[in-house]
């Protein structure tokens, strides 16, 4: 089936352009890698199609710069990734779905075993094979999503009858509050992880996501698993973002029009012109990942775009296919029909937009651009 995305159309037929820079992803990996000691491996979380950037481009860039271990969420992502990086180690964070082990073995993919049931199923497989088959074991240190409870972990890991020949290739846990380093939960999880995995120090251990990498060596153990920071996101809320931007969204101006003082703009008439305004209507909306929650009302400002260095605040509601921007103070020559406006990128940080939308930049990135022209290269 040919979808609109499968065809590549002339650029000027698209409402907008999504540019992704795989080299910037590699640069970000090298920066994170440099923050860890020589005994720590820097892996990459590349789930959700590389946080929306496209794993077919992100994975080769990461592999070429030295990354050898990748974490995806679900088996389908792993099977697709195996074709892209044949020599990499691939872990599936969601673990072993029922009756899927043959696929894991056929594609050389490792589950992150997140429950006793999964561990038992995998250990049974190892017994049948008469050898250990690579898989990670996830222990819950407080987030209460996936992972064996500490009691299950302690009991299972010392039960030779249960494990058979199985020996985990990795023991991992996940931080609940990494984005706020001062949260006491971080230290508690760190101490707990250190204690509970202590008896298994011969097995590689991993606790840190992006925030964990930036929080310092205590959190690094044998492997770190950054995701958002690789894609230019802001892992730690309170600090300046040290990462290089990876994605840029530009939307095209369709029309520029005058709005008389007192008139309203957009669906729901939620925003009133307080003075005579000039607005630009651009061809991007929530169907393109421009989250509707970043809309503007008379009570509460929304997000913004950037045109030639000028800030253009969103006016009224973001609709499915378009956004209206306040360009009253933007010079006329920048407002050509068809001109591009940056809606996210080096000048419009996803984390800043996310603050207006009461979300995090992860949601912006993973929502982006199924209808835009996709271009891979520098963001200039």
Ligand X SMILES: *Cc1c(COP(=O)(O)O)cnc(C)c1O
Per the CB < 8 A criterion, the answer to whether 191 and 150 are in contact is: no
The size of the interface with ligand X (CB under 6 A), counted in residues, is: 12
At 318, list the tokens.
Answer: 């973001």
Interface with ligand X by CB under 6 A: which range of 157-165, 182-190, 228-236, 277-285? 228-236
CA 115 and chain centroid, separation = 24
Q: How many CB atoms lie within 10 A of CB 308?
A: 13
47 is catalytic: yes
According to the annotation, is 205 in a ligand binding site?
A: no
Q: Which stretch binds ligand X (CB under 6 A): 55-63, 222-230, 338-346, 349-357?
A: 222-230
Q: Show contacts with ligand X in window 202-221 (CB under 6 A).
A: 209-210
At 224, list the tokens. Answer: 């770190």
User: For residues 152 and 237, which CB has a smaller minimum distance to ligand X in the complex?
Assistant: 237
Q: Binding string to ligand X for residues 158 to 197, with x set by CB under 6 A, is what? A: ----------------x-----------------------
Nearer residue to ligand X within complex by CB, 95 or 302 = 95
Considering only residues 235 to 254 of the shown chain, the ones binding ligand X according to CB under 6 A are 235
Decide if 376 contacts 343 (C-beta within 8 A).
Answer: no
Nearer to ligand X, 244 or 319 (CB): 244
Question: Where in 38-77 is the site for ligand X (CB under 6 A)?
Answer: 45, 47
Show the beta-strand stretches assigned E in 15-158.
Answer: 16-20, 41-42, 44-45, 69-72, 89-92, 110-113, 136-138
227 near ligand X (CB under 6 A): yes
Minimum distance from residue 206 beta carbon to ligand X (Å): 8
Q: Is 228 in the site for ligand X (CB under 6 A)?
A: yes
Residues facing 310 on adjacent strands: 307
In angstroms, the CA 366 to CA 54 distance is 10
User: Is 145 labeled as ligand-binding?
Assistant: yes
Please tell me the distance from the alpha carbon of residue 350 to that of residue 228, in angstroms, as a whole number: 11
Q: Does 90 bind ligand X (CB under 6 A)?
A: no
Instruction: Work out which of 225, 317, 371, 374 binds ligand X, going by CB under 6 A.
Output: 225
Contacts of 202 (CB under 8 A, 6+ apart): none
Query: Which residues have CB under 8 Å from 49's CB, separation 6+?
Result: 55, 77, 366
The closest of 231, 248, 235 to 26, measured between CA atoms, is 231
Q: Catalytic site residues? A: 47, 267
Residues within the annotated binding site for substrate? 145, 320
Residues interacting with ligand X, by CB under 6 A? 45, 47, 93, 174, 209-210, 225-229, 235
């Amino acid at each position: 089936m040919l979808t609109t995305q499968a065809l590549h159309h002339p650029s000027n037929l698209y409402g907008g352009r999504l540019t992704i820079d795989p080299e910037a992803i590699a640069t970000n990996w090298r920066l994170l890698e440099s923050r860890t000691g020589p005994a720590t491996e820097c892996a990459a979380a590349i789930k959700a199609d590389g946080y929306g950037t496209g794993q077919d481009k992100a994975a080769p860039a990461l592999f070429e710069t030295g990354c050898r271990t990748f974490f995806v969420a679900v088996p389908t992502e792993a099977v697709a990734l195996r074709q892209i990086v044949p020599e990499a180690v691939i872990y599936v964070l969601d673990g072993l779905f029922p009756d899927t082990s043959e696929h894991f073995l056929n594609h050389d993919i490792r589950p992150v075993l997140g429950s006793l049931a999964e561990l038992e199923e995998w250990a049974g497989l190892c017994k049948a094979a008469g050898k250990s088959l690579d898989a990670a074991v996830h222990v819950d240190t407080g987030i209460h999503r996936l992972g064996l409870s500490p009691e299950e972990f302690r009991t299972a890991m010392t039960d030779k009858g249960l494990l058979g020949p199985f020996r985990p290739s990795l023991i991992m846990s996940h931080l609940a509050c990494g984005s706020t380093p001062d949260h006491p939960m971080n230290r508690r999880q760190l101490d707990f992880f250190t204690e509970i995995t202590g008896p298994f120090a011969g097995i590689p251990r991993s606790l840190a996501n992006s925030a964990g990498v930036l929080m310092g060596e205590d959190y690094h153990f044998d492997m770190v698993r950054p995701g958002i920071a690789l894609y230019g996101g802001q892992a730690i809320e309170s600090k300046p973002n040290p990462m290089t931007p990876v994605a840029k969204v530009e939307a095209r101006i369709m029309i520029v029009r005058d709005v008389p003082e007192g008139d309203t703009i957009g669906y729901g008439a939620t925003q009133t012109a307080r003075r005579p305004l000039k607005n630009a209507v651009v061809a991007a909306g929530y169907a393109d990942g421009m989250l509707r929650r970043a809309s503007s009302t008379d009570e509460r400002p929304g997000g913004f775009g950037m045109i030639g260095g000028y800030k253009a605040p969103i006016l009224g509601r973001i609709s499915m296919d378009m956004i209206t921007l306040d360009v009253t103070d933007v010079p006329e020559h920048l407002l050509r029909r068809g001109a591009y406006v940056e809606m996210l990128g080096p000048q419009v940080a996803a984390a800043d937009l996310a603050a207006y939308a009461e979300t995090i930049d992860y949601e912006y990135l993973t929502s982006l651009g199924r209808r835009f022209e996709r271009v891979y290269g520098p963001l200039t």
